[in-house]
Amino acid sequence: MNLGDLHKVWESKALKRKPGEEEAKKILEKIAKQVQPIWRVKLLSEFCPNNPTLLGLNVGASIHVKLRLRRPNWDWDFYPFNQVLDTMLHELCHNAHGPHNANFYKLWDEFRKVHFHF
């Protein structure tokens, strides 16, 4: 195994029941490349939860990270890439800090500085 394989997204899946599956897959692959040095993610997938405010979910410390790529009820209206990337960074912070506390937000800010170059 290559050491680079330890910090990467192993698989990504877009929703097949939605139009624009190829576009969604490209977004997920771009997100995967951006976060590769941070943590290993076994599966990165698109999801469309009933709760319109839920943008991401981290299951089992990055065994499966789910991201909302599209605005609720608008299948062709994808969120801006940087917003989806920010959600991914948020979900990766949950690997180190479960609750949304000061340590969580500090780590999220550190990730943002690296990935958004502010």
Beta-carbon contacts of 93 under 8 Å, excluding residues fewer than 6 positions away, are 104, 107, 108, 111
| φ and ψ at residue 80, rounded to 5 degrees | -60, 145
Percent of the chain predicted with pLDDT > 90? 69
Catalytic residue among 11, 21, 22, 91: 91
Confidence band for 98, pLDDT divided at 50, 70 and 90: very high
Q: What is the pLDDT of residue 117?
A: 62
Q: Is 91 a catalytic residue?
A: yes
Q: Read off the tokens for 53.
A: 């405010």
Name the residue with higher pLDDT: 8 or 65: 65
Q: Which candidate, 12, 16, 20, places its Cα nearest to that of 78? A: 20
Place 5 in a pLDDT band, splitting at 50, 70 and 90: low
32-63: per-residue pLDDT in tens? 988 887 778 899 999 999 999 999 999 998 89
39 CB neighbour count, 10 Å cutoff:
19
Residues 6+ away with beta carbon under 8 Å from 27: 69, 78, 81, 84
